[in-house]
A = this chain, B = another copy of it.
Amino acid sequence: MLSTTEAAVLGMLTREEEMSGYDLHKHAMHTVAHFWAPAQSGIYALLPRLVEAGYLTRREVAQRGKPDKQLFRITTAGREALRDWLKTAPTREPERSPFLLKLFFGALLEPDEVIEQIERRRQDARDLITQLDRYEAAYRSGTAEFRERDFFPSLTRAWGYAYAEALLAWTDDAEQKIRARLGPRQGDD
């Protein structure tokens, strides 16, 4: 079974005909980065494996002025493997959050320090929104065909917005609760 990053690479190659490792990384940063941001070196490491497995073909291209490069193209077997991966259930979302762990043990910090952490998280949400706005702008200014092709990606952006909004609302609420708890008992302990 494919790893997530392998699937991401195959997936991008269903949308772009032919790409180099360099292209793939750049492309990922402009499309799936908000929920999957593979390291460049990781991509270079997995490409030969996918070629070996028969999921990609490789083509060498000489260049002048720039380093030579290798362009990859997905095969029918690659599409099959990707489809299989896309269909599988387990997926087991990690839901891992060091941030929530820090908050869970918030009693060990000064209230200000906890609020600082929450503040940071709020900023993360804002950053996510601006990032999504950039993608969204590209989407709205695209042709009808582009928008059609971008239907599923747009659903992932919609989740990004919902997530960020929920985060903003929750941070407000959490901060307010912490302050409320603090107020009525100043110097109480």
Contacts and interface: CB of A to CB of B under 8 A. Distances in A.
A35 B4 contact: no
Contacts of A98: 4, 7, 36, 91, 93
User: Size band of the A side of the interface?
Assistant: 35 or more
Contacts of A14: 105, 108
Contacts of A155: 103, 106, 174, 177-178
Interface string A2-29: 0010011001001000000000000000
The main secondary structure of chain A at its interface with chain B is: helix
A58 interface: no
Nearest to A178: B155
Interface in A132-159: 149, 151-153, 155-156, 158-159
Nearest to A106: B152
Nearest to A152: B106
